[in-house]
């Protein structure tokens, strides 16, 4: 018989595993640590997840699903990509200030740690960042087709640049314990887009999708 699934217990395990993995990384987190945090035996934990890799991938999949719903799906509800990108940085600054600039981005952290040693992790993380970048690129391309950005704007390259600036800001904020880096880098990200705005930019289009939430 297969393992029975206790959904409430599974959610608890995923929450506690995420906390342990986020703070200590994959290689420094033991199944015993997670079992203790869940107040269960290791044997009980292995009843739900057959290995640390299986559990960590389940945590990663849950985080990706959450980020995809809140951060990757169509951007720019107000029809203003420039403001949407600015908001991504400003909201991240507020969030990281509240948590003392600790932990960083879970998906980026585990991607950096595991990409060269485990293809399952690398592919999942790579797909997530590709989808995030492509979603932003679609938003920029739509605005360009409407004549709101000039022909020099490359939506794909610009989206990748903005994402790189964002993840770089997360790294700097975490290592320096300085949330103000989001404001500084966010200004540069905004200027990257503003240099391509045309006289028609402020023409509003209400069909551009939901508002951009805070980034990773």
Q: How many residues would you count in the chain?
A: 216
- Which pLDDT does position 67 carry in this prediction? 81
DSSP bridge pairs for 158: none
Please tell me the distance from the alpha carbon of residue 35 to that of residue 25, in angstroms, as a whole number: 16
Whole-number pLDDT of residue 202: 85
Q: What value, to the nearest 5°, has the Cα angle with vertex 90 and ends 86 and 95? A: 145
Which domains are delineated in the chain? 7-50 (1.10.10.60), 61-194 (1.10.357.10)
Cα–Cα distance, 196 to 179 (Å, whole number): 28
- Confidence (pLDDT) at 2: 53
Return the H-helix or E-strand segment holding 83.
Answer: helix 81-98
pLDDT at position 103 is 87
Q: How far apart are CA 133 and CA 139, in angstroms?
A: 10
In the prediction, which pLDDT does 5 show?
A: 66
pLDDT digit of tens for each residue in the chain (216 aa)? 455 667 889 999 999 999 999 999 999 999 999 999 999 999 999 999 999 999 999 999 999 998 877 766 645 555 789 998 998 899 899 999 999 999 889 999 999 999 999 999 999 999 999 989 998 998 899 999 999 999 999 999 999 999 999 999 999 999 999 999 999 999 999 999 999 999 989 875 544 444 443 344
Question: Is pTM, for the whole model, over 0.75?
Answer: yes
Residue 206 CA to its chain's centroid (Å): 25
pLDDT for 75 equals 58
C-alpha 10/C-alpha 129 separation (Å) is: 26
DSSP single-letter state for residue 178? -
């Amino acid at each position: 018989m297969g393992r029975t699934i206790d959904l409430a217990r599974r959610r608890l395990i995923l929450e506690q595993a995420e906390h342990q993995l986020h703070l200590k990384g994959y290689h420094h987190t033991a199944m015993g640590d997670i079992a203790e945090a869940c107040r269960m035996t290791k044997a009980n934990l292995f009843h739900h997840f057959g290995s640390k890799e299986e559990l960590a991938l389940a945590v990663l999949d849950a985080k990706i699903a959450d980020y995809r719903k809140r951060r990757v799906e169509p951007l720019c509800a107000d029809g203003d990509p420039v403001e949407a990108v600015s908001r991504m940085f400003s909201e991240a600054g507020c969030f990281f200030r509240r948590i003392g600039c600790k932990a960083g981005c879970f998906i980026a952290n585990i991607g950096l740690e595991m990409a060269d040693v485990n293809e399952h992790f690398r592919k999942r993380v790579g797909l997530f960042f590709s989808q995030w970048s492509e979603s932003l690129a679609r938003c920029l391309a739509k605005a360009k087709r409407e004549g709101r950005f000039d022909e020099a704007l490359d939506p794909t390259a610009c989206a990748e640049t903005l994402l790189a600036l964002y993840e770089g800001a997360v790294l700097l904020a975490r290592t320096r314990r300085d949330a103000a880096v989001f404001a500084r880098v966010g200004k540069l990200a905004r200027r990257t887009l503003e240099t391509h705005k045309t006289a028609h930019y402020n023409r509003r289009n209400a069909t551009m999708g939901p508002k951009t939430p805070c980034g990773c």
